[in-house]
Amino acid sequence: MSESGSRGSEGALEGPRDLVKYTFYRLRPEWRRLSEEDRSRGKQALAAILARPPDGVTSRTYSLVGLKGDADLLLWAIAAEIPPLQEFHARVAGSPMGGYLDVSYSYLGMARRSEYMGGHAHGGEGSSTTRRPQGRPYLFVYPFVKKREWYSLPFEERRRMMGEHFRVGHHYPTIDIHTGYSFGLDDPEFILAFEADEPGLFLDLVYELRSSEASRYTELETPIFTCRLVGPAEALGLADGIP
């Protein structure tokens, strides 16, 4: 579902590009055996850290409680440079509650302009080197890898097939796409994220794209995460078992 591929060193002319970081945490069961007082203090301290990220970092918290077996919350962080991202995650890890959070999944990507979209952009994505949350209540995240045969196809052939993807996307104008390019930065080629108002819309979009020609060149698009946007205190409360 990503506009994958590149031509030469054109990306080097883009200028500053946002880094996008998706960190999925699982809260250890041992945390819930602590006293109510210790848990309350720990949640308040970590919620304060999440609510006030370092300068230059944009962040959102999401809950996956009951939606994924090995992840309870997602921290989505965006910054123009790596050091503030590291500082933010170090603050989380160094908090009392952070000592009970295991990182179950972690993905790093970078924004860049899509070569396939030309002057067109769907949902503000594709012609921009920035990524910003739109605030829709659901976020769907997954890594994405194309088969190597894809990159051997002529560029015009790839652009034709991706055009079909964009046309399908036009049927879902309330779904916002955030593509992170991970070539050389992380294990996947892309980390894809889609904001939507309700899960059924995204289900229908993915189903419709299954029959597209470009989908034949998909190598990997799992694991998939369904995430609900909540504030830091609510995200921690749900993970703690106190909704």
Q: What are the per-10-residue average pLDDT scores of the chain (243 residues)?
A: 45 72 97 96 98 97 97 97 98 98 98 73 57 93 97 95 89 93 97 97 96 94 98 97 84
C-alpha–C-alpha distance, residues 114 and 192, integer Å:
13
Question: pLDDT at position 38, please?
Answer: 96
Question: pLDDT at position 115, please?
Answer: 81
| CA-closest candidate to residue 232, choices 70, 67, 91 | 91
- 125-to-29, 118, 130, 176 alpha-carbon distances in Å: 39, 12, 8, 8
Question: pLDDT at position 127, please?
Answer: 54
| Choice among 100, 142, 172, 181 that is catalytic | 142
Question: pLDDT at position 6, please?
Answer: 41
Q: Which residues contact 161 (CB under 8 A, 6 or more apart)?
A: 212, 213, 214
Question: pLDDT at position 117, please?
Answer: 67
Question: pLDDT at position 67, please?
Answer: 97
- Domain parsing of the chain, residue ranges: 1-243
Give yes or no: 107 in active site. Answer: no
| CA-closest candidate to residue 83, choices 52, 54, 106, 50 | 54
**Domain 1-243 in CATH: superfamily?**
Apc35880; domain 1 (3.30.70.1030)
Question: pLDDT at position 123, please?
Answer: 44
